[in-house]
Every structure is written in C-alpha cells, then in structure tokens.
C-alpha cells in the first residue's frame, strides 16, 4: 500500500500562472529581488509568475492579504525582515502571524543597509552626519517605507543609537522614497543596498556608510559604519518567499527547488551580486532554515522595537 499519495493538483502544479504579491511599490528593493528570482522560477515551473504590488502600512496590508489567500500555491508573497519579523512588535493588532499563518519557502537574499542622503546634504561623512542630525534633530527628516518596513526599522535602530527622534516621512516603498531623495525632497534614509547601488553609482545620492562588518564588493568605496566611526550601527535585511499556511508539502517542495535553482543560475547570481545582495548558501535556502530565521528575527526585534510603540 502506498503510504502517501500527493493530491492530484500537487502532482501537476502549476497548471496556471502564479501571483507573487510584493508588499511595496514597484522599483524598490523587494520588487527588484522578487522580479529577478521569479523571472527564473517561471522558466523552471513552466508558468508565468505575475508580480502584484500591494502597498500600504509598511507591507502589512499585502501580507495580511497573502495570509488569507487560498493555500493552493497560486498566491505567494515575497516578504522581508519587516513584514515577517519587525511587524510583530510594532503592530499589536497585526492580522497575521509570520510563523502561524505562513509556510516558509526559501530565503532569497540578504540585503545590507546603508545610510544614504540627498546629494546636497551638508554633512560630508558619517562623523559630520552624526553631529549634524544630533544638532538639528527637530528639523531633519528621514524617508522610509512605512512603520515596520526595513527602512523604518533600520533608521529606528540608528536613531536609538544616536538618541534622536527625527521626523519620519513615509512612502509606499523605498522605490518612491528613493525618487524623493534623488529629487532632494527628503534628507536621508536607511535603505537596502539593492535600491542604493544604481543611484550611488550614478552620483545622484550620497552614501555615508554600509552597516555591515565588511565593505560590499558592489560599493568598494563606501566605508563600513565601523570604519566611519559608528560601529554600533549594524543592520542587514533579508527577502524571502512564503506561501499561505497549509499549502501542500509537494507544492512547497517544487517552489523551494525552483527558487534554489534560480539562485544558482549565473545570470540571476550576477544581477543580485551587482546590486550588492548576499546570496544564501544551500543550507540557508531550506524552508526549515527560513522558519528558524523568522523565529530568531522576531525574538531579536521584539525587545528593540517594543519600547518605541
Ligand atoms: C523597506 O524599507 O521595507 C523596503 O525598502 C521596501 C521596499 O521594497 O520598497
């Protein structure tokens, strides 16, 4: 007797296009990583993957929708450190729980955080920036992608280290926030590298430092926060793919395999690395590893963010 027979839908999956919810505006870091990876996954799965940008409330509107979607493998979400960890302490009435309402599929990328400013911002380097924002805390402003987004949470961490509370300017993603920074409409932002590399290389914004222990190969001239005088500020975000709870193990396995194959593809790798992403190794790509990451990140951010609410 056969001990386990996968349901017929799981055996033939996917038979139609898949919707990938991106919880922020098009052109931002989550969108860019999702498009690069799903572009390759669609070839492996033999069906198109349609990106749907659903914005609002720091990504929690979209994540609520994904949690409530049918668990048939046809609606997925590319979430991140904000939607699937930092949102838990920041939103006491969050309509989903990252661990209870989702099946982890795969970690897609690690994304270091940079302190960025508009091109004509007076401080020349990180030391000057620190002195400037401390001296002008009531008039400086920091763009972010909504409460609980990576950019918000990262700058919250920076502000707690500097002991300042500047005005936050929320956008529907750091894609539009970056446009405002380039246009000089906001002062600074703590953003993921994927969004920053093209603008830094084009000379349209300033980068004070990268908040990781090592410099990033895509931005060899940008100092680390330790080199620039603020070693306490360390921040790296991540993007990962999730399905609604109860999605069949066979479907999850084929999605995980397709995501992992995408991360091994030379073209995908090159594009992600050029944008400064850290590509997870095979052991970090398993659903189990992602479940552990989500658990650990919720535990890490809860004491940091709870007092701020
Ligand atoms: C964030 O700050 O959470 C992200 O940058 C959102 C985005 O992808 O725009």
Looking at the chain, the number of H-run helices and the number of E-run strands are 11, 9
pLDDT in tens, the chain (309 residues): 444 555 656 679 999 999 999 999 999 999 999 999 999 999 999 999 999 999 999 999 999 999 999 999 999 999 999 999 999 999 999 999 999 999 999 999 999 999 999 999 999 999 999 999 999 988 999 999 999 999 999 999 999 999 999 999 999 999 999 999 999 999 999 999 999 999 999 999 999 999 999 999 999 999 999 999 999 999 999 999 999 999 999 999 999 999 999 999 999 999 999 999 999 999 999 999 999 999 999 999 998 887 544
d(CA 207, CA 289): 32
Is 216:113 a contact under the CB 8 Å cutoff?
A: no
Q: What is the pTM of this model?
A: 0.95
Buried b (16+ CB within 10 A) or exposed e, 175-207: bbbbbbbeeeebbbbbbbbbbbbebbeeeebbb
Separation in Å, CA 164 to CA 139, 154, 195: 11, 14, 25
- Ligand 1 in contact with 259 (CB < 6 A)? no
Q: Partners of 210 in the beta sheet?
A: 114, 224
Please report the pLDDT score of residue 1 as a whole number: 46
Q: Are 168 and 193 in contact (CB under 8 A)?
A: no
260 in Cβ contact with 107 (< 8 Å): no
What is the spatial distance between Cα 221 and Cα 115, in angstroms, rounded to a whole number?
14
Alpha-carbon distance of 153 to 50, in angstroms, equals 28
* pLDDT score for 8: 58
Query: What local confidence, expressed as pLDDT, does residue 11 receive?
Result: 76
Determine the distance separating the centroid of ligand 1 and the alpha carbon of 151, expressed in angstroms: 6
pLDDT of residue 93: 93
- DSSP codes joined into one string, 21-79: EESS-TTSHHHHHHHHHHHHHHHHHTS-EEEEE---GGGHHHHHHHHHS-SSSSEEEEE
pLDDT of residue 2: 47
Strands 236-244 and 102-118: antiparallel
Tokens representing 149?
């987004």
Residue 169: phi and psi, rounded to 5, are -115, 105
Residue 57: partners with Cβ closer than 8 Å, 6 or more residues away: 91, 146, 147, 148
- Best of 145, 197, 237, 238 to mutate for ligand 1, by most ligand atoms within 8 A of CB? 145
Can you give the pLDDT at residue 309? Answer: 43
Residue 56, CB half-sphere, CA atoms under 13 Å: how many? 5
pLDDT for 304: 85
Whose Cα sits closest to atom 6 in ligand 1?
173
Cβ partners under 8 Å of residue 261, min gap 6? 40, 41, 44
Closest-CA residue to 36 (of 216, 277, 293): 277
Q: Determine the atom of ligand 1 nearest the C-alpha atom of 32.
A: 8
Q: How far is the CA of 181 from the centre of ligand 1 (A)?
A: 14
147 lines ligand 1 (CB under 6 A): no
Token duo for residue 221:
């001239």
Cβ atoms of residues 219 and 195 within 8 Å: no
């Amino acid at each position: 007797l056969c001990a386990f027979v996968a349901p017929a839908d799981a055996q033939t999956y996917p038979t139609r296009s898949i919707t990938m919810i991106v919880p922020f505006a098009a052109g931002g870091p989550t969108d860019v990583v999702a498009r690069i990876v799903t572009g390759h996954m669609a070839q492996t799965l033999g069906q198109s993957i349609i990106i749907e940008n659903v914005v609002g409330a720091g990504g929690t509107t979209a994540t609520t929708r994904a949690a409530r979607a049918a668990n048939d493998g046809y609606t997925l979400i590319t979430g991140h450190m904000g939607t699937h960890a930092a949102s838990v302490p920041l939103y006491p009435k969050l309509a989903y729980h990252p661990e209870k309402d989702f099946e982890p599929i795969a970690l897609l990328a690690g994304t270091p955080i940079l302190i960025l400013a508009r091109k004509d911002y007076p401080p020349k380097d990180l030391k000057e920036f620190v002195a400037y924002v401390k001296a002008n805390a009531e008039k400086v402003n920091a763009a972010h992608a909504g409460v609980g987004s990576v950019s918000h949470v990262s700058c919250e961490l920076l502000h707690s280290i500097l002991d300042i509370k500047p005005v936050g300017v929320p956008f529907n993603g750091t894609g539009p926030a970056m446009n405002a920074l380039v246009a000089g409409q906001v002062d600074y932002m703590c953003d993921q590298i994927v969004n920053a590399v093209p603008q830094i290389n084009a000379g349209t914004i300033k980068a004070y430092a990268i908040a990781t222990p090592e410099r990033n190969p895509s931005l060899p001239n940008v100092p680390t926060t330790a080199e620039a005088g603020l070693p306490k500020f360390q921040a790296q975000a991540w993007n990962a793919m999730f399905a609604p709870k109860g999605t069949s193990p066979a479907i999850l396995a084929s999605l995980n395999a397709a995501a992992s194959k995408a991360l091994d593809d030379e073209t995908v790798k090159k594009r992600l690395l050029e944008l400064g992403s850290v590509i997870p190794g095979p052991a970090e790509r398993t659903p189990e590893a992602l479940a552990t990451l989500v658990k650990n990140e919720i535990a890490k951010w809860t004491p940091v963010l709870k007092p701020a609410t």
